């Protein structure tokens, strides 16, 4: 009788663990894929990064890389729009090429922008020490090098 109880417990644990993983979106390869929806758009004019309209489809919490802020990624354009809030120098928006993040990058500081609004609020969710944020960036900037960034992006879950 004891051996049979152990088998039942293992079967129940296996069923629960298989049922514990779910997705609220379409399953890749399941025939129901839809293109991810853009989280807003920004127009970038830059000698270094080129001229592009960025329409990111994903947002990642800066907590994944140990900074306060978040990244909006436009995979199609190959650019990331990052809000980083430094406790000493304040907020900045950085646009970069993820293939060469330290060489192909432009930065816009609050002083470069007649419009520089952002909102970074915790949703109260945290998974594996990564905090989920509601993030909004609304800017119109021209940095000293002449690069320009204008537009608005937002996400209710930047995880």
Which DSSP state fits 23? Answer: -
Of all residues in the chain, the percent with pLDDT exceeding 90 is: 74
The domains of the chain are located at: 37-158
Task: Give the whole-angstrom CA distance, residue 71 versus residue 48.
Answer: 20
pTM of the model: 0.77
Is the pLDDT assigned to residue 8 strictly greater than 90? Answer: no
pLDDT of residue 57: 96
Residues 126-152 have a mean pLDDT of 96
Task: Give the whole-angstrom CA distance, residue 46 versus residue 147.
Answer: 5
The confidence band for 129, taking pLDDT boundaries of 50, 70 and 90, is confident
Q: Is residue 103 within 8 Å of residue 49, measured between CB atoms?
A: no
Which residues are CB-contacts of 129 (< 8 A; sequence separation ≥ 6)? 63
Residues 70-96 have a mean pLDDT of 97
pLDDT, greater one: 145 or 3: 145
DSSP bridge partners of 90: 86
**What digits encode the pLDDT tens for the residues 27-79?**
333 333 445 678 999 999 999 999 999 999 999 999 999 999 999 999 999 99
């Amino acid at each position: 009788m004891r051996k049979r109880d152990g088998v039942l417990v293992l079967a129940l644990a296996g069923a629960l663990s298989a049922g514990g993983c779910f997705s609220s979106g379409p399953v890749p390869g399941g025939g129901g894929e839809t293109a991810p929806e853009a989280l807003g758009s920004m127009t970038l004019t830059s000698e270094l990064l080129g001229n592009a309209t960025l329409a990111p489809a994903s947002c990642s919490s800066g907590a994944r890389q140990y900074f306060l802020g978040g990244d909006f990624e436009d995979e199609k354009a190959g650019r990331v729009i990052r809000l980083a809030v430094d406790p000493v120098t304040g907020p900045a928006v950085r646009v970069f090429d993820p293939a060469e993040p330290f060489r192909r990058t432009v930065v816009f500081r609050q002083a470069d922008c007649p419009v520089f609004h952002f909102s970074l609020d915790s949703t109260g969710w945290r998974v594996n020490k990564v905090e989920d944020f509601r993030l909004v960036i609304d800017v119109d900037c021209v940095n000293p090098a002449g690069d320009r960034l204008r537009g608005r992006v937002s996400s209710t879950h930047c995880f």
